[in-house]
Amino acid sequence: MLSAVPRRIFHTFFRKPPAQRVTAKVPPYIRDQLDSNTDNEQPLPHDFRTVYPEFLPDPRPEWRNRLRERLERNDMLTRRSVVAIPEFYIGSIMAVTVGDRNASDKTNRFVGICISRGGTGLRAWFNLRNVIDHQGLEIMYEMYSPLIRNIEVLRLEKRLDEELLYLRDALPEYSTFPLDMEPELLPEGAPVPINDIKVKLKPRPWHERWERKNLQGVQDLGLPQRFYNKAKLHEKPWEKYDLMMEYRATIPEEEQADIFHEIAPHYQQLESSRRQSKRRLAQTSRY
């Protein structure tokens, strides 16, 4: 009986009808046949989503619009053709040159370690941290701001944690980098090295309760047992089994593939800038 009910929704008239009646508020993802030319599809590298995470839109359904996302990606690619934005990760040491009206030579160069990164689309940003004259400095850069003249990766590496905000409470030597640091080169095709350094934190008080964050890259915190007991209470071990949470926080894989195939014509240009930054040899001038 139900199958006899005519499916009269707007989509059925202009598009290929979906397999069943749409009940969700957000319609399921239907691949746009007109836009994807299946002939030219090349295999994409597996690490695309880690190298270019900001090309994936914000997964919140109430903010999504596929036309806006496409226009945004076009703008991002256009900007990337002007200024190369290299591959970098949390923990990489970078130098950024920006136009600065108030500087004497009208530009400002800052070197620091990338402690956090976020935003999607044109809103993408990253934070650099350094200690200069015993003063900790953090600068947030918008990746697609036209003020940015140059982004250099001086040392391409990853750390054990997803955010290095605990460097604010660490000893200053862990976030001190010379402003005249030479770029270190990696051999071609080498994987991104993971720096498993363990950072020593200063004694409490801290900005956050780091004992609750399950940090990998810190030395023993040296706290009394009651802090760990309290941290145990605040653990959320069930979250890794929460499929709905994961679903809401991610873009479906087939849609990710479509997005990356859409930017595939610009892939050469993206990859060349990526290779340039990788070509730096590891000179291991650690200090």
The nearest distance, CB 146 to another protein, in angstroms, is: 5
The nearest distance, CB 96 to another protein, in angstroms, is: 12
Written in H, E and C, the secondary structure of the chain is CHHHCCCCCHHHHHCCCCCCCCCCCCCCCCCCCCCCCHHHCCCCCCCHHHHCHHHCCCCCHHHCCHHHHHHHHHHHHHHHHHCCCCCCCCCCEEEEEEECCCCCCCEEEEEEEEEEEECCHHHCEEEEEEEECCEEEEEEEECCCCCEEEEEEEECCECCCCCCHHHHHECHHHHCCCCCCCCCECCCCCCCCECCCCECECCCCCCCCHHHCCCCCECCCCCCHHHHHHHHHCCCHHHHHCHHHHHHHCCCHHHHHHHHHHCHHHHHHHHHHHHHHHCCECCCCCC
Q: Which is nearer to another protein, 1 or 243 (CB)?
A: 1
Q: Which is nearer to another protein, 6 or 203 (CB)?
A: 6
The nearest distance, CB 248 to another protein, in angstroms, is: 17
Contacting positions for another protein (CB under 8 A): 4-8, 10, 12-14, 62-65, 67-69, 71-72, 75, 78-79, 81-83, 99-101, 105-106, 121-123, 142, 144-149
The nearest distance, CB 268 to another protein, in angstroms, is: 18
Q: Which is nearer to another protein, 99 or 222 (CB)?
A: 99
Q: Which is nearer to another protein, 29 or 228 (CB)?
A: 29
